Amino acid sequence: MIEQSFSIYHLEYFLAILARVMGAMVFAPIFGNVTVTRRVRIMLGIGVALILYTAYPYTPLNYTTFIGYTVIVVKELVVGLTLGFTANMVLTIINAAGQFIDRELGFSMVSNFDQTFNTETTISAQFYSMLVMILMLVLNLHYYILSALSDSFTLIPLGNVTIDTGALYDTMIGYITQYFIIALRISLPVLIAIMLLNVVLGVLAKTAPQMNMFVVGIQLKIFVGFGVIAVTLPFLSTITGYLYEQMQKVVMDVLQVFY
């Protein structure tokens, strides 16, 4: 016969787990997408929290007053929000690369609402973001988010969160700088092609001044840009794998800040 007791202390323990899980669900890739309704997100968060509650043994939380328990819940929420935000920050690389490309193709003024980041973005940026999200689902990379969330309870037990703001700031600044460089490298083929096209158009403008290079250049930039995008599109799966590795690295570095 299996005996299992559930008291108010177990409920408080479950709510602390739920705070970290729901915090991660707010910003996490795929799970935090605007297209995922709040009802589905809440039900999914409760389900994951129940699984984690049964998977890890119960340990009493170290607090004495209601304020102490509130501080514990707020810290768990901060851990979840930070994990979800850092994982989602990796996807901004591909979004920035698309905006670099659209700036060269002349599409930077054509903005569209991106439900992934809940902001205005350009056409190529949204196109790349949607393809990367589909590849993440096909390659089951979204399981890593749940795995990292589960492992966080082993690395950072409930009630033992210590936030090193200085280390967190240095980690985030370092990765933001690195992400900018990665986004530039992804968009580099299109940037180089457009730069060479501008050189050719400049030479033609000197040799044949009667031609309207402005009108011709706009059309040529679009055709050349789309051609380079079509050629480099098969490498998107490799880029997605690289972004997955970066996601693993940044999540592990951020987890080390909290213990």
pTM: 0.77
Domain residue limits, the chain? 8-258
Is 71 buried (19+), middle (13-18) or exposed (0-12) by CB count in 10 A?
middle
**Alpha-carbon gap, residue 123 to 112, rounded angstroms:** 7
The per-residue pLDDT for 64 is: 79
**Alpha-carbon gap, residue 96 to 42, rounded angstroms:** 30
The per-residue pLDDT for 4 is: 55
Is 131 buried (19+), middle (13-18) or exposed (0-12) by CB count in 10 A?
middle
DSSP-based three-state secondary structure for 10: helix
* pLDDT digits (tens), the chain, 259 positions: 344 566 787 888 888 889 889 888 888 877 777 777 788 888 888 888 888 888 888 887 877 788 888 888 888 888 888 888 888 877 788 888 888 888 888 777 766 666 655 666 778 888 888 888 888 888 777 787 888 888 888 888 887 777 777 777 777 787 777 888 888 888 888 888 888 888 888 887 777 776 676 677 778 888 888 888 888 888 888 888 888 787 778 877 777 777 6
Helices (H), the chain: 8-27, 38-55, 66-89, 92-105, 123-138, 142-155, 165-186, 188-207, 213-232, 236-255
The per-residue pLDDT for 150 is: 85
